Amino acid sequence: MNRIGSWFLLSFRLHRWEVLASAAGVALLAIAMLWFSSQLRALAASEPGCSDPAAYVAGCEQFAQRFSELADWGRQLLLVSWGAPFGMGLVLGVPLVAREVEHRTAGMAWTLSRSRAVWLAQRVAFLALVLIAVLAVVAVVSEILASALMPNLTLDSDFTWYGRRGGLIVLRGVLSLGIGVLAGAVVGRLLPGILVAAFASVLVFSALSLGMDRWLETDAVLSPAMNGGPFDQSGGRSLGIRIELAGGEVVTWEDLLARGYTDWQEDMEGRLYTSVDDVGQLDRAIGWERQLLVPGRLYPQIVLRESAVAGAAGLVLLLAAVGVVGRRRPG
């Protein structure tokens, strides 16, 4: 057997349980998603007169009801696809170093290898391949299900179910793997490592989400708020409500309160007034209620950006794990 074959076989034997559990979980998820997709498509094809299941069309009530019942299950599956990278990254990543240290086999493995960094790179490479392969299946199948759930949307330019479909799932998995490997290397015990990694994941992904939202604000545009005009239907992503003051300045509700505007009135078009008597006098309006919206056409760019950040952060954590493994005691 050549070197790659023996590396593959050894890696598989070391992580058989985790790899098989991940593959089995993804296989079940993919089968369920494809089944629901086919059912939804068949249902939509059986009623060609009812083109949009989300819209009210006279005579299509029964179809919409049946579609909605099936779609509820589909949406639950998309939630699973959102959670898959976090769970799989930890299940595959934490045992990599932690189990060797806990079983006191790390000393022998590290001595036999050319260097600890090479040993870790060989192990991580196999798990990263497995992770990317299984999550790629989730990414593709979740897109298929999403398009069956929303046949009238152009999902390539729509933020609906952001992070529950598409390639972002794979890169989030890489980041989660990095967290798992690093936590396992630091703690050196399996179950405590999983606890620490789960807690760290919550912190890291919350920070990533907040940071990406701040970055997104640079791409966002002001659009009419819910009661100021037609609510956005173009697949954009809302970052919250802002107030556009008459002078052009954009502030939050908190800023407005801090400036002493504790009492205001709003008309049907979203204009804000400081007194109920001013309502309707356009020159007395202090500003407009707006929605900060990232246009749907930016969806591929934003996904690519977050994927790059998650992937880079994952690599940084894996490098940190190399540092930890290089210095720590093997047992």
| Comparison of 44 and 91: residue with beta carbon closer to other proteins | 91
Residue closest to 242 by CA, chosen among 263, 259, 217: 217
Q: For residues 43 and 96, which CB has a smaller minimum distance to other proteins in the complex?
A: 96
Q: How far is the C-alpha of 100 from the C-alpha of 185, rounded, in Å?
A: 10
Q: How far apart are CA 234 and CA 256, in angstroms?
A: 29
The two structure tokens encoding residue 164: 């529950």
Q: Compute the distance between CA of residue 117 and CA of residue 12 in angstroms, rounded to an integer.
A: 19
Q: Which residues pair with 290 in a beta bridge?
A: 224, 242
Choice between 28 and 308, CB closer to other proteins: 28
> In this complex, which beta carbon is closest to other proteins, that of residue 191 or of residue 226?
191
The region of 41-49, 133-141, 175-183, 194-202 touching other proteins under the rule CB under 8 A is: 194-202
The reply to whether 295 sits near other proteins by the rule CB under 8 A is no
**Calculated CA dihedral for residues 192, 193, 196, 200, nearest 10 degrees:** -170
Q: Is 96 a residue that touches other proteins (CB under 8 A)? A: no
Q: Does 103 bind other proteins (CB under 8 A)?
A: yes
- How far apart are alpha carbons 326 and 221 in whole angstroms? 48
The closest alpha carbon to 84, from 127, 14, 142, belongs to 142
Residues 6+ apart with CB under 8 A from 80: 29
Tell me how far, at minimum, the Cβ of 103 lies from other proteins, in Å: 6
Instruction: Decide if residue 278 touches other proteins (CB under 8 A).
Output: no
Based on the shown chain and the rule CB under 8 A, indicate whether residue 189 belongs to the binding site for other proteins: yes
Stretch that binds other proteins, among 47-55, 91-99, 246-254, 309-317 (CB under 8 A): 91-99
Interacting stretch for other proteins, rule CB under 8 A, among 63-71, 189-197, 237-245, 321-329?
Answer: 189-197
Name the residue nearer to other proteins (CB basis): 15 or 165. 15
Q: Looking at 151, 163, 167, 192, which residue binds other proteins (CB under 8 A)?
A: 192
- Does 102 interact with other proteins (rule: CB under 8 A)? yes
> Shortest gap between Cβ of 140 and other proteins (angstroms)?
24
What is the distance between the alpha carbons of residues 174 and 313, in angstroms, rounded to a whole number?
A: 9
- In terms of residues, how long is the chain? 331
Of the candidate spans 54-62, 102-110, 143-151, 306-314, the one that interacts with other proteins by CB under 8 A turns out to be: 102-110
Interface residue with other proteins, options 58, 263, 283, 327 (CB under 8 A): 263
Task: Confirm or reject binding of residue 89 to other proteins (CB under 8 A).
Answer: no
Query: Do residues 251 and 242 touch, judged by C-beta distance below 8 A?
Result: yes
Assess 91 for contact with other proteins (CB under 8 A): yes
250-251/221-224 β-pairing: unpaired
Structure letter (DSSP) for residue 151: T
Contact footprint for other proteins (CB under 8 A) = 17-18, 21, 91, 95, 99, 102-104, 187, 189-192, 194-196, 263, 276
